[in-house]
Amino acid sequence: MRAVDIIRKKRDGGALDHREIGWMVGGIASGEVADYQWSALLMAILWRGMDDAETAALTDAMMHSGSVVDLSTMPGVKIDKHSTGGVGDKTSLILAPIAAALDVSVPMVSGRGLGHTGGTLDKLESIPGFRVDLDLKRYQQVLNECGLVLIGQTAEIAPADKRLYALRDATATVESIPLIAASIMSKKLAEGIDGLVLDVKTGNGAFMQQLEDSRRLARTMCAIGRGLGKRMRALITRMDQPLGRAVGNAVEVAESVACLRGEGPNDLVNLSVELAAEMVVMAERAGSLDEAGALCRRVIADGSALDRFRRVVAAQGGDPRTLDEPERLPQPRARRDVAAPRSGVVESLAARPIGQATMLLGAGRARIDSIIDPAVGVILHKKVGDPVDAGEPLCTVYFNDTAALEPAIAMINDAYRVGDGPVESPPLIVERC
């Protein structure tokens, strides 16, 4: 086979077969296919698309470019959740211990922050000592001991995705639904799961801003998983305003712990419970979503979900005292309130500029090698629909870098729109598929 023939075929709108796709993916490791040839193919895929069979073949080849973990000898049904990314989206930290407390095994391989969105790994690493870089042997031990494990992509998991992701980032080819679907699913399927619940975000703070695109992404990922015999469910959820009240890293860990104590904000608790309930039903631990939802709320109320989180934090080297004494989490040197410019009602609170403001403060990466500041972030006191008096704090900014403060506050001011109302709050869950 020759890369140039395969590129030409896709360029001209043809469908590639699984041998051609497998050969191209194999060529990354063998060196038979140069980066410039993959870059050209990626651009052809972005323009021409891929059908379901091509997307499944690409996922399969990327998944098998590294180790596919075999958890079949471990007891229990292994279910994970994946979110396509948002602002203040910390549901993984809440639902994984909830599901584990209900005897669902949760092997979770998560990512870092991307653009204006936060990443589970960065949040977890704000817990002093917490290690996300476990090898696959320790990954299985922690899963066995705690019923859940929270790690990052290792060199062994889908290495072809790592290479292709870097090329996509550098060639403006990230925004292709088949490429996104294959990238996410190749990593998730390599974890050794039996089923996956997807939280596909839609709205201004999501990568997919249009509902129709979110729907296509959800359906593509479900088709890939089901084609490989996995249990799949996708929820499409709104990401127009941040989820919960905390945006950053340590502040999001503290808010997750508050949720596990039954003290979290309603939108975040409700979505975490909905997603966890889907996992519980998928693992056949409950017969209906209503029953599963009630079980999830019970393990929050009786403390067993928080206990699971405490166990996994200790097993992965983190300081479990941070869960009871949040002041042990990294703290900023200073805090500044942002005051409401007028009295009224918060009509909108755009998630994307809030994410960008926290990134500017140091909570996210401007470059691949940037160092995250775990202590900085924003606490939102007012969200959509809340009444506010002129001068009252809309939010509090946690900061260390004084130079970043004013530009971050300008972005936050742009994100808030305070008007006379009334305000409609559409439901967070748009649909399930």
Q: Which residues contact 251 (CB under 8 A, 6 or more apart)?
A: 377, 378, 379, 398
CA dihedral 205, 43, 217, 255 (to 10 degrees): -30
Half-sphere exposure of 278 (CA within 13 A, CB side): 22
Which of 19-27, 134-142, 180-188, 265-273 is the region at the interface with ligand URA (rule: CB under 6 A)? 180-188
Cα distance between residue 380 and residue 398, in whole Å: 11
The answer to whether 73 touches 144, Cβ cutoff 8 Å, is no
| Binding to ligand URA, residues 389-428 (CB under 6 A) | none
Residue 401 CB, shortest distance to ligand URA, in Å, is 28
Which of 56-64, 93-101, 176-184, 316-324 is the region at the interface with ligand URA (rule: CB under 6 A)? 176-184
Cα distance between residue 285 and residue 288, in whole Å: 9
Question: DSSP label at 275?
Answer: H
Residue 69 CB, shortest distance to ligand URA, in Å, is 17
The answer to whether 114 touches 203, Cβ cutoff 8 Å, is no
The answer to whether 108 touches 153, Cβ cutoff 8 Å, is no
The answer to whether 162 touches 29, Cβ cutoff 8 Å, is no
Active site residues per annotation? 82, 161, 168, 183, 187
Does 56 participate in binding ligand URA (rule CB under 6 A)?
no
Query: Toward ligand URA, which CB reaches closer, 98 or 206?
Result: 206
Which of 97-105, 138-146, 178-186, 294-302 is the region at the interface with ligand URA (rule: CB under 6 A)? 178-186
Q: Which of 140, 183, 237, 316 binds ligand URA (CB under 6 A)?
A: 183
- Taking CA atoms, 175 is separated from 207, 213, 263, in Å, by 8, 10, 37
Query: Toward ligand URA, which CB reaches closer, 111 or 192?
Result: 111
Helices 304-315 & 136-146, crossing angle to 10 degrees?
A: 150
Cα distance between residue 155 and residue 348, in whole Å: 42
Nearest to 44 by CA among 98, 6, 91: 6
Residue 216 CB, shortest distance to ligand URA, in Å, is 14
Does 184 participate in binding ligand URA (rule CB under 6 A)?
yes
Query: Toward ligand URA, which CB reaches closer, 180 or 338?
Result: 180
Which of 144-152, 177-185, 374-382, 403-411 is the region at the interface with ligand URA (rule: CB under 6 A)? 177-185
Query: Toward ligand URA, which CB reaches closer, 87 or 375?
Result: 87
Query: Toward ligand URA, which CB reaches closer, 183 or 316?
Result: 183
Query: Toward ligand URA, which CB reaches closer, 82 or 311?
Result: 82
- How many residues bind ligand URA (CB under 6 A)? The answer is 4
Q: Which of 58, 61, 134, 180 binds ligand URA (CB under 6 A)?
A: 180
The answer to whether 354 touches 432, Cβ cutoff 8 Å, is no
Does 21 participate in binding ligand URA (rule CB under 6 A)?
no
Helix (H, G, I), strand (E, B) or coil at 137: helix
| Binding to ligand URA, residues 101-120 (CB under 6 A) | 111
Residue 166 CB, shortest distance to ligand URA, in Å, is 11
Helices 159-170 & 35-48, crossing angle to 10 degrees?
A: 70
Does 269 participate in binding ligand URA (rule CB under 6 A)?
no
Does 121 participate in binding ligand URA (rule CB under 6 A)?
no
Does 95 participate in binding ligand URA (rule CB under 6 A)?
no
Does 200 participate in binding ligand URA (rule CB under 6 A)?
no
**End-to-end Cα, the chain, rounded Å:** 39
Q: Which residue is nearest to ligand URA (CB)?
A: 183
Cα distance between residue 234 and residue 230, in whole Å: 13
Query: Toward ligand URA, which CB reaches closer, 84 or 322?
Result: 84
Which of 179-187, 190-198, 227-235, 389-397 is the region at the interface with ligand URA (rule: CB under 6 A)? 179-187
Query: Toward ligand URA, which CB reaches closer, 180 or 200?
Result: 180
Amino acid at 314: A
Does 45 participate in binding ligand URA (rule CB under 6 A)?
no
Residue 168 CB, shortest distance to ligand URA, in Å, is 7
- Give me the phi and psi of 137, to 5 degrees please: -70, -50
Nearest to 24 by CA among 7, 45, 48, 46: 7
Does 164 participate in binding ligand URA (rule CB under 6 A)?
no
| Binding to ligand URA, residues 306-365 (CB under 6 A) | none
Cα distance between residue 193 and residue 229, in whole Å: 11
Sign of the torsion angle spanned by Cα atoms 98, 69, 125, 123 = negative
Query: Toward ligand URA, which CB reaches closer, 160 or 283?
Result: 160
Helix (H, G, I), strand (E, B) or coil at 203: coil
Positions in the binding site for ligand URA (CB under 6 A): 111, 180, 183-184
